[in-house]
Amino acid sequence: MMRGNRTLTPPPMPNPVGTALGPHSAMPDSPTRQRGISGSMLMEGLGSAAAALALVWIAFSLAGIVAPFGMLVAWFCLFFAIYGTLCWRLHGVLIAKDRMATLGIWSGAIVAMFALGAVLYYVFIRGVSAVFEDFPHFLTADMTQLGGASKITDLGVGAAIVGTVEQVGIATIITVPLGIMTATYLVGSNGPFARTVSAVVDAMTGAPAIIAGLFVYLLWVVPHKESGKSGLAAALALAVMMLPIVTRAAQEVVAIVPGSLREAALALGAPEWRVLVRVVLPTARAGLMTAVILGVARIAGETAPVLFNAGGFEAYNWNPFSGQQDDLPFRIYENIFQPGAVIQQSAWGTSFVLVCVVLILFLIARALGKSTPGRRRFVPWARIRNRTTEVEA
C-alpha cells in the first residue's frame, strides 16, 4: 500500500499454534513420524533392553527363582517401561506414545507369528515323514488297508481329501450368497427385523460347533437313520457355522463402500439391484474374499459336525449326496486315539495334509480377491465384447 512516497508494509501475522511454518516444517507439538530405525533409536532400544535384562536377572537371582518364561515376561514388561520413560524424557510425550504403540503392535505380531510358526513346525516335523515316505501314495490311497500289521506306505488320506474339499465347497456355495445378501440387507436397513437378524447373527457367531452338528443331526440324520449320514449333511452343518462369520465380515466390508458411488449410479438411472451387483460388490471384492477366507478357516478343521453327520468311510466316496464320507478332521480324530505308532503317524500326516489343503484354498481365494474391480478377467465373453468394440471403433 502506497502513501505519498512511502510504502507501508502490513505487520506479519502471528503463526497460530500447531500450524506448519512451511511445506516441510512442523511445530514441535506435531512431530513428523520418522521412517525406519535411526542409530539413536537403536541405541535407546538396546540400552533399555540391556538395563531391563540386568535388573530382572539380579532380582530373580536374589530371590532364587528359576522360571525362564516368567523371566522373559518380566524382562519385556520392564523393558517396555524403561524404554517408554526414556523416550518421554528425551523426545516428549507424543513421540513416546508413538514408539510405545509401535513397540506394542510389533510385539503382538511377533508373539502371534511365533505361536503360529511353532504349531506349523511341530505338525511339519511329525507329519512330513508319513506324507513323503512313498510320495504321492499317501495322498492318493485310502484307509481300507488299515490293520494291525499295516505299514505307513499301506495307508493314505485320498478319500479324506476328497470329502473335505467337497464338504467345504458345498458349504461355501451355500453360505456365500446367503451371507452377502444378508450383509447387504443389514447395511441398507435399520428396522426391527434387521435388528433381530443382526442379533441372531451375533448369537450364531459364538455358538459352539457341536450345536451346529447336533442341529443338522436331529433335523436330517435321525429321521433318515444311517442313510442320513452323508457329505451333504456334514456340509449343511458346516454351512450353519460358516454363515454368521461370512455375514458379519461382509457387512463390515459393504458398509465402508463410499456412499458417493451408490449415489452416482442411482443418479444415472441404474436400479438398486444393478448398483449392488455392478458397483458395490465389485468395489468390496477383496474384502468379501477375506470374509470367505475367514469362513473357510472356521470350518475347515471342525470335527464335531462331521463326526455326527458324515459318519466316516475308509474307502473313496465321490458322491457327497449318498453314503457316508470321510473327512480330514474326522480321520485325525479317529487315528490319533488308536494304539500303534503307524496309525498315529498317519494321524500326524493327515494333520500336515489338512494344513496344506487349507493353505491352498487361502491362496486361491486371495488370488481371486486381488483382481481389480471392473476387470472381468474370468468372464470368457469379456474379451470378445472388447474386441468387437475396438472393431466398431
Q: What is the pLDDT of residues 151-188, one digit of tens each?
A: 888 888 888 899 998 999 999 999 999 999 999 888 88
- What is the share, in percent, of the chain residues with pLDDT greater than 90? 23
pLDDT at residue 150, as a whole number? 77
Contact at 8 Å (CB) between 207 and 299? no
Residue pLDDT, tens place only, 194-233: 889 888 888 888 888 888 888 899 998 888 877 888 889 9
- The rounded distance, in Å, linking the Cα atoms of 137 and 152 is 10
Residue pLDDT, tens place only, 184-203: 888 888 888 988 988 888 88
Segments in the chain forming alpha helices (H): 39-63, 68-91, 93-132, 137-140, 158-188, 192-205, 209-216, 222-224, 231-255, 259-267, 272-275, 281-283, 285-299, 304-309, 328-336, 341-369, 380-392
3-state secondary structure of 80: helix
| Residue found by looking up cell 500500500 in the block | 1
Residue pLDDT, tens place only, 48-82: 999 999 999 999 999 888 888 889 999 999 999 99
- The rounded distance, in Å, linking the Cα atoms of 271 and 267 is 10
pLDDT at residue 171, as a whole number? 93
pLDDT at residue 167, as a whole number? 92
pLDDT at residue 170, as a whole number? 93
Tell me the HSE value of 227 on the side-chain side, using a 13 A CA sphere: 2
pLDDT at residue 391, as a whole number? 54
**Average pLDDT over every residue of 325-338:** 87
- The rounded distance, in Å, linking the Cα atoms of 32 and 56 is 35
Q: Which residues, in sequence order, are CB contacts of 291 under 8 Å at separation 6+?
A: 179, 245, 246, 249, 250, 253
Residue pLDDT, tens place only, 30-44: 555 666 677 888 898
> Using CA of residue 230, residue 219, residue 245, residue 375, what is the dihedral sign?
positive
pLDDT at residue 68, as a whole number? 87
Average pLDDT along the chain: 82
**Average pLDDT over every residue of 355-370:** 77
pLDDT at residue 174, as a whole number? 93
Domains in the chain (CATH in brackets) are 40-112 (no CATH), 139-372 (1.10.3720.10)
Residue 19 has pLDDT above 80, yes or no: no
pLDDT at residue 389, as a whole number? 52
Contact at 8 Å (CB) between 253 and 288? yes
Give this prediction's pTM.
0.72
**Least confident range of 2-11, 194-203, 259-268, 368-377:** 2-11
Contact at 8 Å (CB) between 203 and 298? no
pLDDT category, 374, cuts 50, 70, 90?
Answer: very low
What backbone torsions phi and psi does residue 133 show, to the nearest 5 degrees?
Answer: -65, -45
